[in-house]
Amino acid sequence: MTAFEPSDITMMVVDDEQSVRQSLEAWFQDDGYTVLTAENAAEALKRLQSAQIDIILLDIKMPGMDGLALQDRIREFNKDVIIIIITAFGTVDTAVRALKAGAFDYTTKPVDPDELSLIVRNAVDRIRLERENAALKESLDHLQYIDDIVGESVQMQKVFELVRTVAPTESNVLILGESGTGKELIARAIHMNSKRKYFPIIPVNCGAIPETLLESELFGHEKGAFTGAQYRRKGKLEMARGGTLFLDEIGTLGLKQQVDLLRVIEDREFHRVGGERSVKADFRLICATNTDLSKAVHEGGFREDLFYRINVFTITLPALRERKSDIPLLAEHFLRRHATAMNRKVEHFSSEAMELLQQYDWPGNVRELVNAVERAVVINATGTIGADDLPLQMIRAPRPVHSDSSLAEVERRHIQHMLESNGWNISRTAEKLSIDRATLYHKIEKYGLKRPE
C-alpha cells in the first residue's frame, strides 16, 4: 500500500528542551522517518530554507518567538507543510488558536505514544494521498490459494472465479452459506489476493459477543468511557487498519450497532467510545451470514441501507451436499493434514468408508467432515480408514440403493432411517413419524423393510 518509504518523509522537531528533541528524534527514527531538530524559531526557519520538510512538530511555548508566531512565519515559506502542535498541559486554548491558524493537529505533553503515532499516521496518510496521483495498481493475475479451500466441482470453480474477480477491487463483499461451509476461509482468500494482503485481516464473530460489549470491541474505548473501562482499549476497526475487517454472523447485529457501522462505512471515520478524536477507517469490509438477510430486511430486523452497503458483491457458498463430487478430494486433503499433524501413518480410506462419506448429507458441511476425518485418524488402528472409524450417525444414515427420488422412494428411505435410529422400536418410530402403529406395519410390509439380523 505504501507507495513510498518512510525515509522519504522529513520531519522537524522544534523544541527548546534537549531531552524532548532527543526522545522524539529517536522515536521517529525508529519508524524510519528522516528527522531534523531545531531548538528555537531561528534555527527552525534556517532549516526550512535548506531542506524539504513535510511535517513539523512544534512546541508552542518557547523562549524568544513562540510557537504561534513561528507557525505564521512558516506558512509564509511553505503552505503545504503539516504542522503538529505540542502543548503543555493546561494551554489547550492556545492549541485551539493554532488549529484555527492552520495547524494539522495538536497533542499535550507528556505525549501518549499511541496518540502521537495516530496523529503522525494521519499526517502521513494525507501526504501519501497527495503524492499518489497515479495509483499504483498491483496486478493480480493469479490467485493465491488458501490451503483448505479445496474443490473441483463446478460450484466451487464458480466461487473461485468470483473471488478472483472481487479480490483486487476495494468492494465490500457479502458471503452467504450454511454454517461450516468455510465462509471465513473465503474471506481470507479474498484478503490474501488483495493489495491489502500485507496488513492484517481481523475477524469478528458478531454473534459470539454480547451486544453490550460489541460496541467497545469494534470501536475501542478511552479510559473512563464507561464504568469498568479502566484502561484504554483498541477496537477491531482500528486493528484492521490497512487490512480487512471480517464480520461474521452480521445478521445478529443489533439495530444500534447497525447504525454505527453504517456511519463508519459512509464517513470512513469513527470515534473510540468516549473519545474525542476521530480515527480514520481504513479497511475493506467483508461480511458473512448464514441467515436470510433480505428476509430480515423485509421484516425490519436489518436496515435496508446497511444491507445495500455491505452487499455490493455476493458470494454464495454451496453446502457440501450440493457438491458431493468434491468429497473424496476434501477427505483426502484433511486426512493428509491430520495424519501429519498427529504424526500417524494413516494414508487411505477404504472404498466402503469413502462411499459412506459420499452418501452422507453433511448438515454441518465441511467443518463436520473435518471433524469426522480427525476423529477417524485418532481411532484408526490399521492405516486405512474403514467404515467403523466413522461416526455412528453416518453409518446409520440411509443408504440409497439407487438414486430414485420419487415420493415413494423418499418415504421408504425416511421410514427405514427412522426405524434404524429408533432401534426398530415400532411404537417409538410410529410416534416420531406421527402415524399409528398399524400404518407403520403396513408401510414396512409395502416397502419390504427388514429388521437387521
What's the CA gap between 10 and 31, in Å, rounded?
12
- Give the span between the Cα atoms of 67 and 53, in whole angstroms: 17
* CA dist., res. 70 & res. 55, Å (int): 14
Asked if 31 interacts with other proteins (CB under 8 A), we say yes
Q: How many residues does the chain have?
A: 453
Residue 30 interacts with other proteins (CB under 8 A)?
yes
Q: Which is nearer to Zn ion, 30 or 93 (CB)?
A: 30
Contact partner at residue 200 from Zn ion, other proteins, none, CB < 5 to 8 Å by partner kind: other proteins
Cis geometry, peptide bond prior to residue 168 (ω within 30 degrees of 0) = no
| Structure-block grid coordinates of residue 425 | 422400536
Q: Does 400 bind other proteins (CB under 8 A)?
A: no
Q: Name residues contacting other proteins, limited to 183-202 (CB under 8 A).
A: 198, 200
Size of the site for Zn ion (CB under 5 A): 1
Residue type, 112: D
Give the one residue of 4, 22, 212, 446 binding other proteins; rule: CB under 8 A.
22
Of 111 and 185, nearer to other proteins (C-beta) is 111
Q: Which is nearer to other proteins, 23 or 155 (CB)?
A: 23
Give the x/- contact pattern for Zn ion in 367-396, rule: CB under 5 A. ------------------------------
Q: How far apart are CA 127 and CA 279, in angstroms?
A: 17
453 binds Zn ion (CB under 5 A): no
If we measure between CA atoms, which residue out of 367, 294, 297 comes closest to residue 330? 367
Asked if 203 interacts with other proteins (CB under 8 A), we say no
Amino acid type, 266: E
Q: Does residue 54 contact residue 104 with C-beta atoms inside 8 Å?
A: no
* Residue 37 main-chain phi, psi, to 5 deg: -130, 155
Minimum distance, C-beta of residue 122 to Zn ion, in the bound complex (Å): 20
Nearer to other proteins, 24 or 204 (CB): 24
Q: Which of residues 44-103 bind other proteins (CB under 8 A)?
A: 86
d(CA 366, CA 323): 11
Which residues are CB-neighbours of 280 under 8 A, at least 6 positions away?
A: 122, 125, 268, 269
224 binds other proteins (CB under 8 A): no
Q: Of Zn ion, other proteins, none, which one sits near residue 320, judging by CB under 5 to 8 A according to partner kind?
A: none
CB neighbours of 417 closer than 8 A, spacing ≥ 6?
396, 397, 398
**What is the smallest separation between the CB atom of 242 and other proteins, expressed in angstroms?**
9
Q: Is 30 in the site for Zn ion (CB under 5 A)?
A: yes
Q: Is 245 helix (H, G, I), strand (E, B) or coil?
A: strand
207 binds, among other proteins, Zn ion, none (CB under 5 to 8 A by kind): none
Residue 428 zone, left/alpha/beta (φ > 0; ψ -120 to 50; rest): alpha
Q: Which of 306, 297, 232, 296 is nearest to 265 (CA)?
A: 306
- Per CB under 5 A, the segment of 28-36, 38-46, 246-254, 329-337 that binds Zn ion is 28-36
Interaction of residue 111 with other proteins, rule CB under 8 A: yes
Cβ nearer to other proteins, comparing 56 with 320 = 56
Residues at the contact surface with other proteins, assessed by CB under 8 A: 2, 6, 15, 17, 19-20, 22-24, 26-27, 29-32, 86, 109-114, 116-117, 198, 200, 230-231, 233-234, 239
Residues at the contact surface with Zn ion, assessed by CB under 5 A: 30
